[in-house]
Amino acid sequence: RDVELFKDLGINSIRVYEVDYNKNHDTCMKLLEDAGIYLMLDMPSPKYSINRAQPYWDHDTMSHWAAKVDAFAKYPNLVGWIAGNEVANDKDTTPSAAFVKAAIRDMKAYLKSKGLKTPVGYADNDDMEIRMNLINYFNCGDEETRADFYGINTYRWCGDDATFQSSGYSDITKNMTDYTIPSLMTEYGCNLVRPRMFHEVDSILGSDMNEIFSGGIMYEFTEEDNNYGVVKVSYGSSKVEKTEDYDNLKKVYTKDVPKGVKMSEYKPSGKDSVCPQVSSVWKVKGDILPPTPSSARCQCMIDSLGCTVKKPELNADEGKALGEVIGNICGQTDCKDISYDTSKGVYGNYAACESLQRSAWALNKNFINSRYTQCEVDGVDTTIIKSPKQDDTDVCLAMKDDMGNIAAPITSSDDDGEELGNGDDSDEKPGSGNSDDDEDEDEDSSSRKSSKTSAGSRPLVSRGVVQLVAGAAALALVAF
């Protein structure tokens, strides 16, 4: 049903935010392939994502992202991965950008280890205050750490009277003129005025932006509570109702045919970006990133503890209780080994361990400080290990990371790093950027802004002539 509508609209790509990678997607991917439609897929999910407020990048999250990569690697029409969607969305959440970039580094390395070249990118929220810092940050430093493409979610072009200039699309285009990696609109389609006429597509796919942007993804396909959809569906039913927005979108897609570019003719002339300086609105030092997770190092650390949590997973109440205790402990003692300070480029030796492992480390630190008397936490089962398996933590620091590299011990500064937040130890991880858990928040903020991209001279992948357009939100659309 949906693929036939995609073909009717004339699109060549969709973006999907979440899938169950444990299920078989052969039929769906084959239908898309036969229709000439590419898929751009987000790596995070609500449970396994980087939390903008308390960011960490650990083995558990990385392993689930890798499993999603493994499940979709075989499909020839997978055009790209998005490692984060609007994660750092204001000046207070910029530390999370370091963890997203660490994830990009590690997932690029994982793809390379599998002989895969699928690009990995990031999508921002077009926040005026941190926009240029984010744009520069994801294109600075070593090639291994830079994003392969950069997406902008923007909702500035609102109403029939908006123009390329008045909407701010001209500013967005100017910002990306000398960018050395492909850029695209990963979401567009302001809905403050309905029906939407989608005049921005004239610029996205036309001469205003075609030389700079590599396509755009209209948000979104199916109508949800946020009123961005172009079709109305009832799940479990084959019936579909096209909205007036659908007809208007089809008209502009039919009229606006982007000019393509062959890979052999693609000669970027921009320059690599310079990492932003630490300031009142940017809290990340250069290109110094959190370490690659090391399950071996973290397990070795756990094996060295004399006081630890008894259960491998905690429910929400237990996680909250433990989080409060850990917050108190780290407010009174040195927790630098499990903490970080992105503004100084400092990451503790066990900062890449999972939340429960970091909490166990703090419990043991308190146990040692109390002269081996305090190991209890109300509401949480803890246990004292009289003879730990590991008695030399230097051995732990020499353990390889999850990519097989020797993980050198991390040098901490004299200043305290970020402390663990409360409630960071439940069995469910907090959601990130635009995951379902905070979808309402992101969609509300999206409706207040707008901007867009086009398909043009910066191809995203090296398979002949590929113009990239992506979709968004559960299933969103991409143009052309």
The set of catalytic residues is 86, 187
Q: Which of 83, 59, 52, 101 is nearest to 355 (CA)?
A: 59
Q: Which of 341, 340, 347, 355 is nearest to 298 (CA)?
A: 355
Q: Checking phi first, is residue 372 left (phi over 0); if not, alpha (psi -120 to 50) or beta?
A: left
Q: 150 in helix, strand or coil?
A: strand
The string over 91-112, giving b where at least 16 C-beta atoms fall within 10 Å of a residue's C-beta and e elsewhere, is eebbbbbbbbbbbbbbbbbbbe
Spatial distance between the Cα atoms of 147 and 262, rounded to a whole number of angstroms: 22
Q: Does an H or E element contain 340, and which?
A: strand 340-341
Cβ 430 vs Cβ 51: under 8 Å: yes
* DSSP secondary structure code for residue 437 in this structure: G
Spatial distance between the Cα atoms of 471 and 40, rounded to a whole number of angstroms: 7
Cβ 448 vs Cβ 153: under 8 Å: no
Spatial distance between the Cα atoms of 298 and 364, rounded to a whole number of angstroms: 14
Percentages (nearest 5) of helix, strand, coil residues in the chain: 30, 15, 55
Spatial distance between the Cα atoms of 262 and 382, rounded to a whole number of angstroms: 61
Q: 320 in helix, strand or coil?
A: helix
| Cβ contacts of 31 within 8 Å, gap of 6 or more | 3
Spatial distance between the Cα atoms of 272 and 108, rounded to a whole number of angstroms: 18
